[in-house]
Amino acid sequence: MPLPLSGKSRVYAILGDPIAQAGSPGLFNRAFRREGIGAVLVPIQVSADGLDAILAAFRAARNMDGLVVTVPHKIAIADRLDEIGPMAARIGAVNAIRKLPDGRLLGENFDGAGFVHGLRRRGHSLREKNVLVIGAGGAGRAVAHAVLDERPCTLGIYDIDRGRISQLSDDLQRHASNTLVSHAEPDAYGFDVIVNCTSLGMRDGDPLPLRLDGLDQRALVVDIVLEPSTTPLLHQAAARGCPTHEGIHMLDGQVEEICRFFGLLDERHDD
């Protein structure tokens, strides 16, 4: 039974800049109501130079237990925490933070798991596919590592920052077995799955993240941008007859895991 918001409610927040596009408040608060958890998750817009202040406030707030982290803070916030989990350490980015009983902050990353779970729920597989990941920021790194674990045939990485491509490619090569990891260009030709992990498409007038001239009609086009749900990339891909996959599926695929990380799924209320 849903619990009313009260002075006893536990508080969680999602940090980002911008934040208006975030789908987390709706998804998490619905999960809290469904599970009878006395908690609320609120959006907080904070710029990069405000991260230290917001983490200090989080440490001090005695009724605040966890944070979700979105664009553009997933990489920058990792170094500000007391401890990070194995996936966050592998990726170098954090998207969830839990306050431990002793006050220390523990960060972990669930983007990759959410990405793969979302695809599987919609009947899509990455096994032995040629996959292009566009964007090597926090989300792109998580998605690329998750894709690699699904054993694709090839994994191409593109980012406007060549240094980011090299760093991510080197990281991936250390974990690759039979998958060929390569630097790619923003071109759809030759790929079975294309994943946009940039913020392009979030704002009016954004260019497409890649060229679609060589897009195969059978290719799956994925965009992790949440708002708008149908980005210009997905709209144009669908117009060409391609299957598409919206960003909400990646977020929906990790809500349960993040709630478990926060220690909330064992919290039940009978009143």
Q: Output the domain CATH number for residue 143.
A: 3.40.50.720
- The pLDDT, as a whole number, for residue 30 is 96
Report the range out of 1-5, 81-85, 202-206 with the highest average pLDDT.
Answer: 81-85
Regarding whether 75 and 145 lie in a shared domain, the answer is: no
Range of the domain at 49: 10-109+254-261
* Statement to judge: residues 187 and 235 lie in one domain: yes
Residues 90 and 119 in one domain: no
Tell me, yes or no, whether 72 lies in a domain: yes
Establish if 60 belongs to a structural domain.
Answer: yes
Q: Does the structure show a pLDDT above 60 at 270?
A: no
- The 3-class SS string of the chain reads CCCCCCCCCEEEEEEECCCCCCCHHHHHHHHHHHHCCCEEEEEEECCHHHHHHHHHHHHHCCCEEEEEECCCCCCCCHHHCCEECHHHHHHCCCCEEEECCCCCEEEECCHHHHHHHHHHHCCCCCCCCEEEEECCCHHHHHHHHHHHHCCCCEEEEECCCHHHHHHHHHHHHHHCCCCEEEECCCECCCCCEEEECCCCCCCCCCCCCCECCCCCCCCEEEECCCCCCCCHHHHHHHHCCCCEECCHHHHHCCHHHHHHHCCCCCCCCCC
Query: What was the pLDDT predicted at 44?
Result: 98
- With a pLDDT cut of 70, the percent of the chain lying above it is 97
pLDDT value, residue 2 = 60
Q: Is residue 91 part of a domain?
A: yes
Across residues 178-200, what is the average pLDDT? 96
Provide the pLDDT confidence category of residue 1 given band limits of 50, 70 and 90.
low
**Predicted confidence band of residue 52 (pLDDT cuts 50, 70, 90):** very high
Query: Catalytic residue numbers?
Result: 74
Residue 144 lies in a domain: yes
pTM: 0.89
Give the tens place of pLDDT for each residue, 10-21: 999 999 999 998
pLDDT at 267: 47
Q: Torsion angle of alpha carbons 215, 220, 223, 226, nearest 10°? A: 140
Tally of domains within the chain? 2
Question: Model confidence over 92-131: pLDDT tens digits?
Answer: 999 999 999 999 999 999 999 999 999 999 999 999 999 9
